[in-house]
């Protein structure tokens, strides 16, 4: 229950705008890049609950009052301070309430549209990535940098990162790598790309739409999307560098799968070393990635890898319940507080990790501490049906969905023997010529398929 002071603070930092049948939450803590406090997440929780029950609300929107940041994360400095000052219940209440909000967004009974303009990291990802509509601008910067502060990717990352293409989610979760602008669309984090200057008009359009119909809302957003900067090449060439796509990871996408497919950090680091020592365009990326991971908390790296491997098999509810257990165990660790101090308080980026390297982290001890045994948890999410895949799909097709059409494993597409033209025609029809579909399908086909034996049909290249 919020105190009067907390409620007043929360309402100053999270504004509520009512216009026709649209409701908008505006994050209003710009000096702190809208980093979330406990009163803020409590206020967001209350707004979501009230608007879900209101017959006057058709659609909920989330945005920031600043183009610099949608939300740069949770106020973990305060959480760490509370824990070390002995106010452990207060520290855990932040995570418990934050995860309830994230879960509620994932299972909300009305459409939610998140406007990603500026930094969208950590807690900001949790407020947006579970929504059915995630609209990124050219200013959007995504990252899950928790391993650098001795924590782990939370706010539902256990669920959403393993469901990105291939090993992309594991790569992003371990390294904290930033993605920008259109990257978010092609990575599957955003569903639409709309320039920042159009966001206000989009909000007005949705406020006056007068419906909760998801298809209608999707079509309304599509009215504002920007054309891809690169158009499709005229011919299917089968070489990724010749296929224009505005995705910063395009040239190393397959190498990411090669290096991050392993189930131990040691094996991943070894794979990066091998790529770094080979001539080729991926060498520099591999060395940079190796160096990035060496800066992270070794125990966080091993914890995160195990978390994400398990998350691939968990439903949305179990994923958040696991994260709550991991958050409490991590607050008991040395590395979380040391990482927060080094990066966010002292700002020296010189954390003294314990253990100091990955070889010193006993994996059996880590499993025992974080994943085994009985943990006292209370039910967090009542009244919703758990799911293992997001119920709404308004983004681009995944790589696997594209390859399933080629291999004949997609029941919607028919059988085997599809040519490049037929595959492209299928996706443009299914996605109603959605912006970005042509570019992504063309890119995936160029990397992952080759011409078969007859009639120009395609077959999947075995990885």
Catalytically active residues are 74, 123, 146, 154
Residue 310 neighbours by CB under 8 Å, 6+ apart:
158, 322, 371
CA geometry: angle at 214 spanning 210 and 215, to 5°? 100
Q: Which tokens is 379 given?
A: 């039910």
- Residue closest to 380 by CA, chosen among 83, 10, 49, 101: 101
Can you spell out the DSSP letters for 102-136?
A: HHHHHT-SS-EEEEE-SEEETHHHHTTTTSSEEEE
First to last CA, the chain: 53
Q: Which tokens is 272 given?
A: 């990066």
Q: At residue 406, what are phi and psi to the nearest 5 degrees?
A: -65, -40
Can you spell out the DSSP letters for 227-282?
A: PPSSPPPSS----GGGS----TTGGGHHHHHHHH-SSSHHHHHHHHHHHHTSSSTH
Q: At what angle do helices 316-331 and 76-84 cross, to 10 degrees?
A: 50
The DSSP code for 31 is G
List for the chain the helix, strand, coil content (%; round to 5): 50, 10, 40
User: Which DSSP helix (H) or strand (E) runs through 218?
Assistant: helix 214-222
Find out whether 263 and 309 touch, Cβ atoms under 8 Å: yes
* Distance, CA of 221 to CA of 226 (rounded, Å): 11
CA geometry: angle at 64 spanning 61 and 69, to 5°? 135
List 15's β-bridge partners, or say none. 26
User: Which DSSP helix (H) or strand (E) runs through 70?
Assistant: strand 69-71
Q: At residue 349, what are phi and psi to the nearest 5 degrees?
A: 55, 40
Find out whether 185 and 136 touch, Cβ atoms under 8 Å: yes
* Distance, CA of 444 to CA of 436 (rounded, Å): 12
């Amino acid at each position: 229950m919020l105190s009067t002071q907390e409620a007043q603070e929360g309402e100053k930092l999270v504004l509520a705008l009512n216009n026709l049948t649209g409701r908008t939450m505006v994050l209003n803590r710009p000096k702190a890049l809208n980093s979330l406090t406990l009163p803020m997440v409590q206020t967001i929780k209350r707004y979501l609950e009230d608007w879900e029950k209101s017959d006057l609300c058709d659609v909920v929107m989330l945005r920031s009052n600043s183009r610099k940041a949608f939300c740069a994360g949770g106020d973990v400095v305060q959480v760490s301070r509370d824990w070390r000052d002995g106010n452990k219940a207060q520290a855990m209440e932040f995570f418990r309430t934050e995860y309830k909000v994230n879960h509620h967004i994932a299972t909300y009974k009305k459409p939610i549209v998140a406007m990603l303009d500026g930094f969208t990291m950590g807690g900001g990802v949790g407020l947006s990535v579970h929504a059915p509509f995630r609209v990124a601008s050219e200013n959007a910067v995504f990252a899950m940098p928790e391993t650098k502060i001795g924590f782990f990717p939370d706010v539902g990352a256990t669920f959403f990162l393993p469901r990105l293409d291939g090993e992309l989610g594991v790569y992003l979760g371990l390294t904290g790598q930033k993605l920008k602008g259109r990257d978010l669309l092609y990575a599957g984090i955003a569903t639409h790309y709309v320039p920042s200057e159009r966001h206000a008009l989009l909000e007005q359009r949705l406020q006056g739409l007068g419906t909760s119909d998801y298809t209608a809302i999707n079509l309304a957003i599509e009215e504002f999307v920007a054309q891809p900067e690169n158009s499709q090449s005229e011919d299917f060439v089968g070489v990724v560098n010749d296929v224009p796509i505005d995705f910063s990871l395009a040239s190393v996408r397959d190498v990411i799968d090669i290096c991050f497919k392993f189930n131990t950090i040691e094996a991943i680091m070894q794979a990066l070393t091998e790529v770094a020592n080979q001539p080729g365009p991926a060498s520099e990326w591999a060395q940079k990635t190796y160096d990035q991971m060496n800066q992270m908390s070794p125990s966080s790296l091993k914890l995160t890898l195990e978390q994400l491997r398990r998350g691939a098999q968990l439903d949305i509810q179990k994923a958040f319940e696991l994260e709550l257990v991991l958050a409490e165990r991590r607050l008991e660790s040395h590395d979380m507080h040391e990482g927060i101090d080094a990066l966010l308080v002292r700002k020296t980026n010189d954390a003294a990790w314990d253990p100091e390297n990955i070889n010193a982290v006993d994996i059996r001890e880590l499993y025992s501490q974080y994943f085994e045994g009985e943990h006292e948890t209370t039910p967090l999410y009542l009244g919703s049906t758990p799911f293992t895949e997001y119920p709404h799909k308004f983004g681009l097709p995944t790589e696997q969905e594209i390859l399933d059409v080629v291999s004949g494993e997609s029941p919607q597409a028919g059988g085997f023997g599809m040519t490049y033209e037929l595959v492209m025609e299928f996706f443009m029809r299914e996605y109603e010529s959605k912006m970005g579909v042509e570019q992504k399908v063309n890119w995936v086909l160029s990397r992952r398929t080759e011409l078969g034996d007859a009639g120009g049909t395609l077959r999947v290249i075995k990885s």
